[in-house]
Structure 1
Amino acid sequence: MAKIFLSYAGEDLAVAQQLYYALSKLSHQVFFDKKSLSHGAEYNFRIVESIRESDFAILLLSPDFFSAGSYCQTELKIIEENWPIPEGRIFPILARDVPFDILPDYIKSVTILKIEGNLVAETVKVIQDNLLGFKSRETVSVKLKKIEVEWKLEALDQKWAQTKKEYYPEIRCTKNETRPVYFYRYVSVFA
């Protein structure tokens, strides 16, 4: 399923741990520092690597998340560098009330989930609902790209056959070792 990075303040460990188990039970690969970091491993490198490999991040927001010196601030900076556009990549969840004015603009730019019932159950539901939309958009995008490439190749082959090696500004063929390479509007497609 999905690779999820879980960012939380140490004071919210109990909730983070429950969320980790609930998401792991659904076959998600969750980076949770207490389970994912081996003893003696290089901490900073593993955090950066895990964020970059994740599909998205869950941010359990609380006043401690934003306290000075909190490692959450470092994680948030890395997350923002990795995903400059947060939509669909971060899921901020209010674990405890946080004054809106201390939230960074990066977090304010997406919907922040305020839990009214059970935090773990509602968070899992939101993640599952969003993953369904994420996976279907990803599949459609891949299918469209495949159709577009196939169409371009077919059009190139027909045009090349018609030209009988005459020069056209939008298309040319060169030999590249053993296979021809077609250049079409700044995109090279290997045959």
Structure 2
Amino acid sequence: RFLPHWLNRALQDLPDAEAYCVALRLAGLLPPIPTRPISSDKHARAKRIVSTKRTHARQAGIPVHASFTFDELSRAGKFVDRCPYSGHLLDWGKPKVHGGSRDSPSFDRIEASSAYSCEGVQVVAIVTNVMKGSLCMRRLLGALCFLQTDAFVGSHVPAAARPAHRRQQVQTLAAMASELPRSLAFVFRPARLGG
């Protein structure tokens, strides 16, 4: 299939249905996946990651707040065992490839234009951070839904590939639909409690 560059980059490591669930969580339409703090044997790696991020951010001209330290981040519970959006177990071991693998921990600045600070970051999987980029999650959700329409298939998928794409489309739509009840229950829960 032929996708706009921004969408292709966002979906490069995730199947559509998984990306849809991640986007729902990032947009606050599904609850995050529960996480636990990392064990103390992973602290040395976490310290190196913080140090590296501080250096790279400064080299890139991104401000780094004094609170962006291992000790502050650890006290705030930022070092977690899994990504709260994709559910991937984070690999706190030695990096296997330069730049990390899809399950490597990555600091996400909650507001993309903000400084690195204890309050302004969360630890997610690299695959989640790459998908999020600085995209509007509602725009991404709309695009993911459009990918499942006949209009998209007719205009973007070569005729020879359509049967295989349709089979994948049915599986993706089923997975996406299975998340809708949880998403709606999560979104409307506060209204029910208040009324």
Query: What is the TM-score with the length of structure 1 in the denominator?
Result: 0.25
Q: Which has the larger radius of gyration?
A: 1
- TM-score calculated relative to the size of structure 2: 0.25
Which one scores higher on RCO, CA 8 angstroms, separation ≥ 6? Answer: 2
Considering fraction of residues, name the structure with more strand.
1
